[in-house]
């Protein structure tokens, strides 16, 4: 893995399957939902586009309303049936059209859809960062094993605060002042 620091101009956030009927089964779901909303608000403030996947929404419902309300305007929401987002042509097309090669992942389940997506993105040459505290599984052990697998494959696992501060790059700017209150809320 080549070292890299996130750059807001080169990054995209991919929110994976945080849906109404799936989230109640996820360990630490309240924290994951809250931290996911924080990351989405920060992405919006920093001009980082967000792409949303919904796995079989007929059965699992739509993205959580608390997340939808903080999405940047015009964030595409794409339904999928493949476990990896890379298996959905509309997602691949959207990623390629943005020309952003750093992908920040959050969502559920870490050991299934999130990990599969991360591994395929790495294989395609993307830099991948997983927001650890905005990602979960039904069982913590599954989440933790997915973190280890992603790290060994060359991905990066960081807390949301680290992700946002890398995207910011420096303190004292107007963007920093705009984002800082999100962490105090």
- Output the DSSP codes for 122-166: HHTT-EEEEEEEEEE-SSHHHHHHHHHHHHHHT-EEE-HHHHHHH
Asked if residues 150 and 157 have their Cβ atoms less than 8 Å apart, the reply is yes
- Tally the residues of the chain: 185
Q: Which residues contact 101 (CB under 8 A, 6 or more apart)?
A: 10, 125, 126, 127
Distances (CA, A) of 77 to 50, 81, 87, 132, 150: 9, 13, 15, 22, 25
pLDDT score for 185 = 76
pLDDT score for 18 = 98
Asked if residues 127 and 14 have their Cβ atoms less than 8 Å apart, the reply is no
Nearest C-alpha neighbor of 22 from the set 103, 127, 109, 125: 109
Q: Is the bond leading into 109 cis (omega within 30 degrees of zero)?
A: yes
pLDDT score for 128 = 98
Residue 12 has pLDDT above 80, yes or no: yes
Per residue in 126-177, pLDDT tens?
999 999 999 999 999 999 999 999 999 999 999 999 999 999 999 999 999 9
Asked if residues 50 and 100 have their Cβ atoms less than 8 Å apart, the reply is no
Per residue in 93-140, pLDDT tens?
999 999 999 999 999 999 999 999 999 999 999 999 999 999 999 999
Q: CA-CA distance, 119 to 65, in Å (whole number)?
A: 28
Per residue in 52-93, pLDDT tens?
999 999 999 999 999 999 999 999 999 999 999 999 999 999
Q: Answer with the residue of higher pLDDT: 72 or 185.
A: 72
Residue 45 has pLDDT above 80, yes or no: yes
Question: Angle of helix 29-46 relative to helix 160-168, nearest 10 degrees?
Answer: 10
Per residue in 17-32, pLDDT tens?
999 999 999 999 999 9
């Amino acid at each position: 893995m080549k070292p890299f620091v996130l750059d807001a101009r080169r990054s995209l956030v991919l929110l994976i399957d945080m849906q109404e009927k799936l989230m109640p089964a996820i360990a630490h779901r309240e924290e994951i939902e809250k931290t996911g909303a924080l990351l989405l608000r920060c992405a919006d403030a920093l001009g980082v586009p967000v792409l949303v996947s919904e796995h079989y929404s007929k059965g699992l419902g739509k993205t959580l309303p608390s997340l939808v309300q903080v999405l940047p305007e015009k964030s595409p929401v794409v339904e999928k049936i493949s476990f990896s987002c890379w298996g959905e042509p509309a997602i691949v097309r959207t990623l390629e059209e943005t020309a952003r090669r750093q992908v920040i992942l959050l969502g559920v389940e870490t050991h299934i859809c999130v990990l599969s997506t991360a591994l395929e993105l790495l294989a395609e040459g993307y830099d991948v960062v997983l927001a650890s505290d905005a990602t979960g599984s039904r069982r913590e052990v599954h989440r933790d094993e997915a973190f280890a697998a992603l790290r060994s494959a060359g991905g990066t696992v960081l807390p949301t605060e680290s992700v946002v501060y890398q995207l910011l790059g420096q303190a004292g700017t107007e963007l920093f002042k705009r984002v800082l209150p999100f962490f105090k809320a």
